[in-house]
Each structure stands twice: as C-alpha cells, then as structure tokens.
Structure 1
Amino acid sequence: MASSSAAARRRLKVVVIMGATGCGKSRLSLHLASVFRSEIINADKMQVYPGLDMTTNKIKPDDRRGVPHHLLGSFDPDDGEMTPSQFRSLGHAAISDVAFRGNLPILVGGSNSFIHALLVQRFDPEADVFGCLGSPASPELRYDCCFLWVDVSLPVLEEYLSKRVDELLDTGTFEELARYYDQGRTETGLRKAIGVPEFDRYFNKYPPPRAVDLDDAWRREEGRKRDNDPVREGAYKEAVREIKENARKLAKWQIGKTRHLKGCGWELWRLDATEAVRLAMAAGEEGGGGRDVWKRQVVGPSEKIVRRFLRET
C-alpha cells in the first residue's frame, strides 16, 4: 500500500527543450523522439493556431517522422488569444495523456511565459514574472523536469535569422502573407505573428489580388513591379527590415527570459549550438558543415542527459 501511495505521488517526467527562435529546438526534439518513445507538445504561442504555417515556422507534417504533436495548430484563433492560464490547462491535459500511454512528453517551444505557466506548482496569472520588476519565478515545479536549453550566441543567431527571413520570403512565405491579408482576418492571436503586421502595411499600399490568383505568375509580376517602382521596392524592403529587426528583438527577449528562469533556480542544461549554426550558414544549407558539430555538441550530450534523467526515480 505504501509503495502504491508513493507511486501515486511521483511526479510525471517531462523533457523540456527551450531556446530562442531559430536555435534548432524542433530538430532536437525529433531526434530525441526517435531515440526515446515520445510525443511532442508545442510551447510556441504563435504555433498553437492553425494557419500561417510557413510564417510561424511550424514543422511540416511530412517532417514529423510519425511523432505525434500536440497543441500545434489546434487552437481556433476566432476564440481569442490563448492565455498562459489556458495553456497551463491544455498543456497539463496533453502531458497527462502522453504519460498515460506510457510515452515521454517532450515540451518544445520558445514561449517562456507559456512554459512557466504550465510547469510551476503554483501559477499566479497576475504576477509579472518576466517584467523588469516582476516576481521571481518559482523553482517549485509540478512535474519532474529535464530542461535542455539550446543556446546560440546572439550575433550568430541574428545573422542566421536574417538569412532565414530572406529564404522564407523567397520560398512561399510572401504569398502566404498575401493570402492571409486577402482573407481580411481580424482575430488577435495570429495577427501578432512576426511578418503579419509588417507586411500588412505593405499590402495596404499595394493590395494583392484574390488569394486564388496568388501563384508563381503573380510572384514574378510582383517582382517586376518592384523592379520598376523604387517606391514600391522601398516599401517591400522596409517590411523585410522590420521583420528582421523584430525577429532579433524576439530572440534577445527569449534568451533573457530563459536566463531569468535559470537565475530563479530552474536547472537548465545549456547546449551550445553556436558553432553548428555558424557552420550550417557557411555551408548554405540546413545542417551542412555543422552536422557533425551538432551531433557532438547538442545531440550527444542531450541523449546522455535524458537517459540519466529517465533512470532517476
């Protein structure tokens, strides 16, 4: 009976992968899920909504390797903006379901306010934990957590984010934003995604055609118009500049929040992916020259940390 009571009191084990946008959290989560029987729970506040999959950098269904993903594109934006309290409730339900099936919950995302709300033992929705004069985050957690912090030095990360913005706009994100603008959506949550407000200002001046006409031919025509109109080209470049600047600000803010949680007593294992990202950029492709470094400095240590964590009672 005593043994049964102890088992009932034992906290659920959760692996938490944290870090700024673009550091490789999703990539690491999929690898760990291939090693340990796991399911992934999204903790990115923009990715909880359906739509704008490229803009919000959702992992594609074909790239999920059959690993179940939860709270990814499942919250109706017409229901309003998801709050930390709602995420706490939905996240707990997802963790419980995954654990009930005998699988390891892996919480992945850069929205530290959501991660904090879900994991702390006592959550006060009125407390400003991350404000300049906010209350310190409690080190008391309601799960047995293994925190993996994928970190990239800010100068390298900023360079990578700038390149990623250009690549995304060249491979469909611009059309996605144009379609979203054409739909005239008014919900609050998804409209805060980086890229939407910046290009809304552009599309207000240069409205796109109907969504059904947004194809390769439209892209070529749009490019021709910008080439022949310096004012239009300047407006486009300003939108891109604002996106890059806001992505840099987001990354810096996310890193600051993560450090704050570590300073409040959260035991975070820091995994330095700086060199892997630098080499990947030099190779001009995902992974590229940084694959071996990524395996050696991020993947290998992560596997060892998680194995040790799962052996602990």
Structure 2
Amino acid sequence: MSDANRTDFTNPSTFILLGIPGLEMAHVWIAIPFCAVYIMAILGNSTILFIVKRQPRLHEPMYYFLCMLAVSDVGLSTAILPKMLANFWFNSREISFNACLTQMYFFHSFSVTDSGIFVAMALDRYVAICHPLRHSTILTNCVVAKIGLAVALRSTVFSLPYPLLARQWPYCRTNIISEPFCSHIAVVILACADTRISNHYGLFVLFCVKGLDVFIIAVSYIQILRAIFRLPTKEARLKTFGTCISHLCAILLFYFPVLFSSLTNRFGQNVALHFRVLMANVYVLMPPMLNPIIYGMRTKEIRDRLLWLFAHKGK
C-alpha cells in the first residue's frame, strides 16, 4: 500500500454503517416497526408537552421534569432514527467522519441527559413524599430551572470527550461499522491504536456517572419507601406508592438496556452480533416511545386531560 493511500485510509472521509449484520435482507421490513416506533415517540412526547403547556395546574416540578424528559427522548430518537431508516430503506450506508462523530456526541449526550432527569424526578418524588409541606418552597421554579441547566451542562461536559477521543485515533483497519449508528465503542474498536483511554472513559461514564445516578435514585426510593411504610393505612400507602410507579417503570426501562448494551459491546464477544445490535436499538427506541404511554396512563392529570381532548374532538 502506498503512503498516500494509507494516509487516506488512516483518516477516513466516510464510514459505512452495516445496519444489523446478518439481517440485511430483512432491513426493509425491520425499518417498518422502527419507523412506527419513531412516529409514536414523536407524537407521544409532543402530546405530553402540549398538555403540560396548556394545563396551568400541571405547571409543577414533576411535570416540568417530564417535559425535559420528553424533549431529551425526542432528541435521542432523532439523533439515530432518520439515518437508520435511510440506510434500511434506501441503502444510504455512508456517513461522513464528522457526521458520525456528531451523531455519536448527540446520542451519548441525550442518553446522559435522560439519566440526569431521572435523578431529578426521583428527588422530586422524595421531597413530595418525605417533606410534603416544604415541597413548594424547596422545588421552586427557579430551582427547577437550575436543575435543568445543570443536567444539560453535565451531559455536554461528559459527552464531549467521546468524539474528541475518537477523532484522534488512526483508522487503518476498516471503515465499516457493524451497527446502524455511530456509538462510541462501535467506532473506537475500528482504530488501529491503543484505545484503552477511550474504553476506560466509556466505562467511567457508565459506572461513575450513570452508576452514581442509579445510586442516588436508589437512596431516594429507600427513603420514599420508609416514609410510605410509616403511613397509617393501607389505602394511603398504596395511593402514595402509586404516584411513583410510572417513574420506577421508566427507570427500569432505561437503565437495564443501557447496562446490557454497554457491557455486551465490550465483554460479550460470545453474544451474537445481531442480537447485540438489536438490543442497542431497543435501548434507543423503546424508552422514548413508552415513556409517554407510561406517564400518560399512570398520571391521572395527564390521563384526564387526554380523555377531555378526545371527548371534545369527537363532538
């Protein structure tokens, strides 16, 4: 190989996204449910934003955080799905090096944002249940805005090293990414250099950032459960715990696929590649679609407003 050709290959102008290896013949059909899920995610989260905006009695910290989650979920889906659908339906597999790094940044940024919002929502539930008389004075609109800004800044700071580290590595093996989008680990494994710093940083974010979030959420819910069990009647305990069910379901839906996808990409060489890729897609697609359904069905105020809208449309 000549020096000129090697230089071009070491600094690829494009990557090739394979999609789901082994299932290429089914890409057209796989894209149909993916597209349906994406449309439902956009519609569901937009509905949440519309209802909270139009209903003054929903202008409370819990619903502000829910709106932040809706915006982040739409961003997470949009960072991935349009290019994935173009690949599956129109065989548009090429993505420029800079576009790949940009997709990588937004994918990880919105993922960290989701995690931070779940922490904020857990703290809101903790204050509402453990210190109900002080809830309005602790979580004022100003405090909620500062929490939202802190979550956004944190996601920016912790996600920026992903593309910066990936940019510095030479890529002289192949420019084919065995996934339908540019995640950090999928790009870095193509580098022909010692990329331990990238791998270690990815694990740092997984365990020390998202892991810390899980720890804070767990501590919050331990305190919440202690407060619930001290309530005098079974009805009061069930009613109070019911206000947390939707949040707990959304947390489990988010963190389990994150952990599985991150660990199998690094250590699951014996796990079939197409299964790992499908799980990564579940991690990206399902929470943005299901979160509005979970909160819409479990939150009385949102459910009542939805029923009111449908009732008036039918007249």
TM-score, normalised to structure 1, is 0.32
Bigger share in helix: 2
TM-score, normalised to structure 2, is 0.32
